Structure 1
Amino acid sequence: MADSALSRAVRWDTVVGALLVVLLLFSFSFVDGFGNALNLSFLIGNTLPIALIALPMTLLVVAGEIDLSVASTAGLSGSVMGALWNQGMAIETIIPLCLVLGVVCGLVNGLLVTRLGLPSLAVTIGTLAAYRGIAQIVLGSDAVTDFPVQYQDFAAGRIGDTFVPRAFPLFLVLLAVAVVVLHATPFGRSAFAIGANEEAARFAGIRVKRQKLLLFVATGFMASLTGVFWALHYASARYDNATGLELSVVAAVLLGGIDFDGGKGTLGGAIAGVFLLGALQNVMSLLNVSAQSQIVVTGVLLVVSVLGPRVGRQISVARAGRRAAAPTPVP
């Protein structure tokens, strides 16, 4: 019983949540400017693009796949948004079209992986370059900045005098939906089963290819939504929007305890990883740490996030082996 309680206490996602709390307590106490409403709003607003894509990415990695084209999909979405706005199309029409574009991008990735049997890592590295190239063709080197004020206010404004961004409640709704889907539905249980053992899941009657295809489509959709949010939040649509965001998303998801091989992890851990990474980057900026050094820290965290849970599992297996090998006391 004590061993079980201890293993729950040192579970990786629990450790990440504890680290987030410690970092916040330290930052509020010792980092000048961290606790003011403007900075907290800035922190959350800058973290939201990572958090939005992390929702479907978590489900995708749990199922044993990955999508590295998410940042390029976001950039393509922003480019199309800017190009169509320049042509005089209404923003209410542009945004749904951009979301459909994201679905198409995710569908292309999913079909290449599920129908042709190609590895998702290689496929999405290819589409990462392809989608970014298309974005540059669509918009060139132009920057579109004159989007409707009310949309920019929603993406970048705060609720009254609080530090809460106006877009944050929408994220909470999406988070609640993702938590229910992953942890309380047959679809989520199937994702864990696929990630743990794809062949066994197939023999159990799970439609593996269809489920993976849906997860790629959902990831493309959310990446496109993130591209729209990015362009409105930063009041600029450019072909290079969100460049490098895929590294932050993957680092945050793996940091939160999602196993890169699939089959393990919690969405709560992933979101804790997202905000731990976001808070750490914010603190480093306030402490005038260079952007290059921040990239180094992100890379180190990515390595630690892959290594940490594996070391923890090896320790657990070793402890279990020692308990099994221990002689049974004679009554």
Structure 2
Amino acid sequence: MGIAAHYGCKRKLSFLDMEKIKQAQRHAEELAKKQHEETQEAQRHAEELAKKQHEETQEGQRHAEELGKKQHEETQKGQRHAEELAKKQHEETQEGQAGLASDMADLKQGQTDVAAKVADVAAKLEDIAAQVAEEKDADSKLRGEGGNKTQAADKPIDEWINDITEELKKHYQGHVCKKWVYPWGGNWMDFDKIYIPVTIDRDVGPESKPIKESLESYEELFEIKEDEASRRFILVGDPGQGKSSFCAKVAHDWCVRKTLENIRLLFIIDLAKVDKDTFIEDAICEHLLSDIEIQPTKLREVIKHLKQSIFFIFDGLVPHTTCK
């Protein structure tokens, strides 16, 4: 009886142990299942997060590619624009250089032509001087033969110089050194009130590479150095720059003896009013000395007598065929 009870108790304890074990197993299974579900949930969350990061990465790459493409297109567009601008500037530079070279060539040719005409005028002046000498010799021979003609042409040469000086002043002050207030007429205006001084540059140095040098005063043009037999110069400028007004300024200053005291006689000849076949002394007598009875031969004698104290200005030399 005691043995059976003991056995039954033992069996009962074993059954309880089995229940606990099963309960523990179920709890372990539930815990494992829960952990498995949590692991799967974590995996799904990780996969979604990785997918989202992958999509964001791809979106960023696409955005970067589009931005890079846009920047590349803008860079190419800027390069094309820069190339077109550089090409245009190069063409304009070449065109400007070609135009400048053409203008320089025309200017040089014009200076050469003017220099040739001035040399021609100088040669003709020398011919006049020679003719004056011949006529003077002829007059001396006539006087030696007993010719006793007391005419106005035989008065002393100093009187002729004074008469010519006064006649030139009257002509310049009445026709050259006064200007109309209006182009169609009106009152006269004194030259000093309207004249604007011009800047005169002269070329110094070698002819192949001259240097521009500004004059302090135009009187420097008329200063003859000790080693010079005469002085010749050409005043070059575009139409309207003041060449003729400069000639009038020189005439005005000579008339009032403001400057140019070393010049006894100043002849300003407007070549536009002189026929191309006219001799210089004939043009002077006709246009500048028409109110005094002086013959071209006597004028040549006066010119020969004064030598370096006389100055000729030819206005309008370039477009005119030089008179004889």
TM-score of the two chains, using structure 1 as the length reference: 0.24
Greater gyration radius: 2
- Higher RCO (C-alpha 8 Å, min separation 6): 1
Q: Which has the higher helix share?
A: 1
Q: Which has the higher strand share?
A: 2
